[in-house]
Amino acid sequence: MSVLVNKDSKIVVQGITGSEGTFHASQMIEYGTTVVGGVTPGKGGQQHLDRPVFNSVADAVKQEGANVSIIFVPPRFAADAIMEAADAGIEVIIAITEGIPVQDMVKAKAFIKDKDCRLVGPNCPGIITPGEAKVGIMPGFIHTPGRIGIVSRSGTLTYEAVDQVTKAGMGQSTCIGIGGDPVIGTTTKDAVQLLMEDPDTDGIVMIGEIGGQMEAEAAHYVKEFGTKPVVGFIAGKTAPKGRTMGHAGAIIGGKDDTAEAKMEIMASCGIKVVESPAIIGETMAGAI
């Protein structure tokens, strides 16, 4: 079993004919992901990367049975692309696009609330179930099939955690990059819960950063419902208050938004908190 994407997922790439869409779709295809086509309005009927191009997501769903969408659409059009995918019946929508206006995301999130779908992102590296499906921009070669789930707000730290877990001989079940924007679809708690309920995941690595309450919410979930070891790390320990660091959502707005406060909450909820990402692997190996 896997979380969100697997070998049976049928992926449509929104924005496949653009430079980013072309590059990453080709990487996904090379990895073995089932990419059934792409969407670029006005280019329907063409072929790109030996895949059909459709004018709409609805056409891709109808003709190819697409059930997962990945979005490489410019920021000003990306929220509309999310809503289009949700309206077409896509089950998992992964928005890679960075820089989507906050007001656009508020509108998109409200639109999809009553739809039967899950949004991951925006401004995220995507999802990978090693050996089955890579739906995003993460380097596939560092991942190894295994039983450790990884949840992260940071793309780069996701890769570090993956490398640590791989070198420790454990491998990964599914890695979920949730994104670092102020308004996102799947939260840290949502992703941790998915992995906690996955019978093929034995442990979870949770990587957060300054800003917001997502890590605290996830920690309280782990305290109440956790059945597997969780190793946690928070980036941004030296960040000054009031300055955005890296991601738009990484800003300290109050005392509970600091790295220290989050680490204390996580530790009090039974999460094994590490001071450095360099010991994530060995800490997890000692916990399972």
Alpha carbon distance 37, 12 (integer Å): 5
- Report yes or no: 206 and 271 within 8 Å, Cβ to Cβ: yes
Residue 3 DSSP code? S
- The per-residue pLDDT for 244 is 54
What pTM does this model have? 0.93
pLDDT per residue as tens digits for the range 238-274:
555 655 555 555 555 566 678 899 999 999 999 999 9
- The per-residue pLDDT for 237 is 73
Question: What does each C-alpha distance from 219 to 23, 26, 29, 140 come to in angstroms?
Answer: 37, 37, 36, 29
Instruction: Answer whether residue 172 shows pLDDT above 90.
Output: yes
- The per-residue pLDDT for 258 is 84
Q: Which domains does the chain have, with CATH numbers?
A: 11-120 (3.40.50.720), 138-287 (3.40.50.261)
Strand partners, 11: 35, 68
> Is 220 a residue of the active site?
no
Overall average pLDDT of the 187-197 stretch: 98
Residue 91 DSSP code? S
Overall average pLDDT of the 44-54 stretch: 98
